[in-house]
Amino acid sequence: MIDLTQTNAREVARRVNAGELSAVEVARSALERIERHNESLRAFITVTADRAIRDAEAVDAAAARGESLPLAGVPLAVKDGFWTEGVRTTNGSKALLDFVPGEDAESVARLKKAGCVLVGKASMHEYAYGFTNENPTFGNAQNPWRIGHIPGGSTGGGAIALATGMALAAVGGDTGGSVRQPSALCGVVGLKVTYGRVSRHGGIPLSWSMDTVGPMARTVGDAALLLSVMAGPDPKDRATAHSPPLPETLVPDGSDLSGLRVGVPGGHFFDSSEPEVAESVRDAIEVLRGLGASVVEVDFPAVDLARAAHRAIIFAEAASAHEPAARDLGNGMTDDIRALILSGLFLNGDQYLDGQRARRVVMAQYRDLWRSFDVLATPTSPLLATPIGLRELAVGDRSIPLVYLYLDHTMPFNLSGQPALSVPCGFSTTGLPIGLQLVGRPWEEAALLRVGASYESATHWTERVPPGI
């Protein structure tokens, strides 16, 4: 049986298309890993074993007819906030325990058409409204590198599945860091796309003006392949209407980064990071310098304005989307999520508009800043994976909520709509993964993927597997 921790999506698709490997064998390998590890790690809410075998058989039949599918036989984990035809979509909540969509989300449909085989619905923070992936209804998702620690949220299940070989591709949603944070904490690759690059149709919303759908994978090349399939205009999501086409080659051969300017912000991004995190990211920046990139020190604006604008917008828009469900006291929604949603009702129209005005200021600041460099490099998460249940951390003489510490590195770029890629860049002395965040100009995902692939090929961090897996 193929070991899915020792391969990648591109290689599996190549071999299935060539008839060297059957999609059914790949699906059975993924399902065997799910059966072995899911009870302890809680990567999946729903496992689609029978459907996976049927879909894999269809892929094998297509390969036998000479059809070449770009993702033939690749096992896919889909965050449980995205519709899947005929498969329940709970959004991580008891409130939607029996919701079975009649169609796939557009991103899921495109991946399945390209040959992906759905193996299950990945665990998530309830209503995608949190950063830990703790879930009292379906069980707390566990970091595969250390049980009892968070995998990050809200797309934690997909990251767990990738790190452990339960899947080779995952669909996630990122509104404040929910693709990048779990990718960093679980040692995989996650891409937050430019707002409007990938259709959100069929995704249960959290904040309509900041929600994005993006790929998660074991390698940068796999993430690029997934993006090439998922991206493009969709008449069912008007935000995609003006999405420019992607370059034909997203990850070019070679690792020379000559001419690339990498911006490195002082202050907040490194001062708020744990020492091992800051050191690993600075080492990663030196690798980029060694590949030919020039490094530019950047005076980055304080995140206070971005944080305030992000919270005002997300609170108001989440309340608008989910007020009826939150007011239904008998539907099983947990009290903390209900309170978060209803708290948005205390914001008035002027406060929401003030948040959107502040957003414009932040976007203008970032647009001017990017004139002096091409790609910004920061830690994805300032912290290593923290213990499940921890809510605050002592920093000096203050106790700071973890939600600020974790998301302050990622949420500014949801506010600005820019693409951002998280790539593994090291491990702590205790064996926990560390992520490098690369942020680009709007619509320049290809530049991020090029830098990420060059770094990945020079370091091989993505080849490591959690102990006991």
Tell me the C-alpha distance between 179 and 212, whole Å: 9
Tell me the C-alpha distance between 218 and 437, whole Å: 16
Marked catalytic residue, from 93, 107, 123, 178 = 178
Marked catalytic residue, from 29, 154, 183, 272 = 154
Is the four-CA dihedral 361, 366, 368, 369 of positive or negative sign?
positive
* Entry field: residues in the chain: 469
To 10 degrees, what angle do helices 106-113 and 220-230 make?
A: 110
Catalytic status, residue 178: yes
Marked catalytic residue, from 29, 79, 112, 381 = 79
The closest alpha carbon to 185, from 416, 12, 433, belongs to 433
435 forms beta bridges with 424
Strands 294-298 vs 375-379: parallel, antiparallel or unpaired = unpaired
Q: Which amino acid is it at 347?
A: L
* DSSP H stretches of helix in 291-401: 304-327, 335-343, 349-369
Is the four-CA dihedral 188, 147, 122, 177 of positive or negative sign?
negative
Catalytic status, residue 273: no
Question: How far is residue 262 from each of residues 249, 375, 378, 437, measured CA to CA in Å?
Answer: 22, 5, 10, 12
Question: How far is residue 127 from each of residues 74, 96, 101, 199, 315, measured CA to CA in Å?
Answer: 27, 10, 16, 19, 13
Q: What is the CA radius of gyration of the chain?
A: 21
Q: Which residues contact 468 (CB under 8 A, 6 or more apart)?
A: none
Q: Which amino acid is it at 123?
A: S
What are the tokens at 138?
């379906």
Contacts of residues 335-343 at CB distance under 8 Å and 24 or more positions apart, as own/partner, are 337/93, 337/126, 337/127, 337/129, 337/130, 340/129, 340/315, 341/127, 341/129, 343/315, 343/319
What are the tokens at 363?
């976007």
Tell me the C-alpha distance between 91 and 97, whole Å: 8
Q: Which amino acid is it at 312?
A: A
Tell me the C-alpha distance between 89 and 79, whole Å: 9
Q: Are 81 and 89 in contact (CB under 8 A)?
A: yes
Q: Which residues contact 277 (CB under 8 A, 6 or more apart)?
A: 379, 381, 382, 383, 384, 428, 434
Tell me the C-alpha distance between 112 and 81, whole Å: 17
Catalytic site positions: 79, 154, 178
